[in-house]
Amino acid sequence: MFITNTEEIAGKKISVCHGVVSGSTVRAKHAGRDIMAGLKNIMGGELTAYTELLTESRDQAIQRMEDQAQQMGANAIVNVRFSTSSVTAGASEIYVYGTAVTVE
């Protein structure tokens, strides 16, 4: 499955547009990660536990979007965009969406 944030895929022709596909996941903070993040906040540096959490969340949202596109018969997703939002205190949603297409 080709997945890109551009409107077209170089060297490929879009033959069918299947429509909008999306995927999302909502993740909550982990108490242990919060404690370590608090310490890092004091000392400075990357919050690696949160980086890992967000990476896992993005991967899961992309996989859900890809699964939806495959169910529609697409072999590519173009014009992909990400969005995040706070759902409640300590929980965030990562949302990804794009256009499912068939390319030749």
pLDDT of residue 27: 83
Q: Hey, what CATH topology would domain 2-103 get?
A: Translation Initiation Factor IF3 (3.30.110)
Closest alpha carbon to 61 in 87, 22, 19, 4: 22
pLDDT tens track for 29-50: 665 555 555 555 566 667 677 7
Helix, strand or coil, per DSSP, at residue 5: coil
pLDDT tens track for 53-94: 888 999 999 999 999 999 999 999 999 999 998 877 677 899
Query: Residue 6: left (phi > 0), alpha (psi -120 to 50), or beta?
Result: beta
